[in-house]
Amino acid sequence: EVQLVESGGGLVQPGGSLRLSCAASGFTFSSNWMHWVRQGPGKGLVWVSRINNDGSSTSYADSVKGRFTISRDNAKNTLYLQMNSLTAEDTAVYYCAIYNSGSSEYWGQGTLVTVSS
Amino acid sequence: QSALTQPASVSGSPGQSITISCTGTSSDVGGYNLVSWYQQHPGKAPKLMIYEDKKRPSGVSNRFSGSKSGNTASLTISGLQAEDEADYYCCSYAGSSLVFGGGTELTVL
């Protein structure tokens, strides 16, 4: 069974940093592209970033470019999202998902990031 | 990376059919056969309903169908059921990125 479990969310002050993790199991992690999608409170889904299977290629939404870094450790079956210079607009539930030809059949349950003083 | 345009809400009675539109540009919806649709119930993760414009993942009811014409994709739900009440999002590949629609709230009357 495919499982994606996000962790690392929490309350952080504006300007602060946070690193999210996504532990993967039930599939060959090193063969799959992955991405992060976020959803602000009461708002819609927004694509954040994606990474290819070996980590050599990444892409970011304009809103996070230069502040967020996606990475992966295929030996640990784990996806990461390093988030720096956080603002209130980054407050959201962050989902990791398997990325396959532009769509995602498998998602994690999400982790909440709240940016507030 | 502008969001795709969806109606904010649609509604229908049980047994009826509804269609949700998703309008983009030639750089996203119209440029690739990579539109997907997601269903999301409150407090839950999104569920993939349609991928590659019109394909259904295993286990998704054939009451759900996808289509596309030019820069506009559509999701049609036939034989509407109470359990279909949810938010629906379209999503398109846009080169090196993905772009989502703003979401449509479906109410089953």
Residue B11 has pLDDT above 80, yes or no: yes
pLDDT at position B58: 95
Cβ distance B49 to B37 under 8 Å? yes
Alpha-carbon distance A111 to nearest alpha carbon in chain B (angstroms):
11
Cβ distance B84 to B60 under 8 Å? no
Residue type, B103: G
B108 has which bridge partners?
B12
Residues 45-104 of A with CB under 8 A from B: 45-47, 50, 59-62, 95, 101-104
Facing residue for A45 by CB, picked from B48, B57, B89: B89
Q: Which position has the token pair 């979401």?
A: B103
Torsion of CA A102, B79, B86, B106, to 10 degrees: 100
Cβ distance A82 to A14 under 8 Å? no
Residues of A in contact with B28 (CB under 8 A): none
pLDDT in tens, chain A (117 residues): 999 999 999 999 999 999 999 999 999 999 999 999 999 999 999 999 999 999 999 999 999 999 999 999 999 999 999 999 999 999 999 999 999 988 999 999 999 999 999
B29 to chain A: nearest residue by CA? A102
Alpha-carbon distance A100 to nearest alpha carbon in chain B (angstroms):
10
pLDDT tens sequence across B34-89? 999 999 999 999 999 999 999 999 999 999 999 999 999 999 999 999 999 999 99
Task: Report the alpha-carbon distance of residue B15 to residue B25 in Å, rounded.
Answer: 33
Size of interface A-B (CB pairs under 8 A): 63
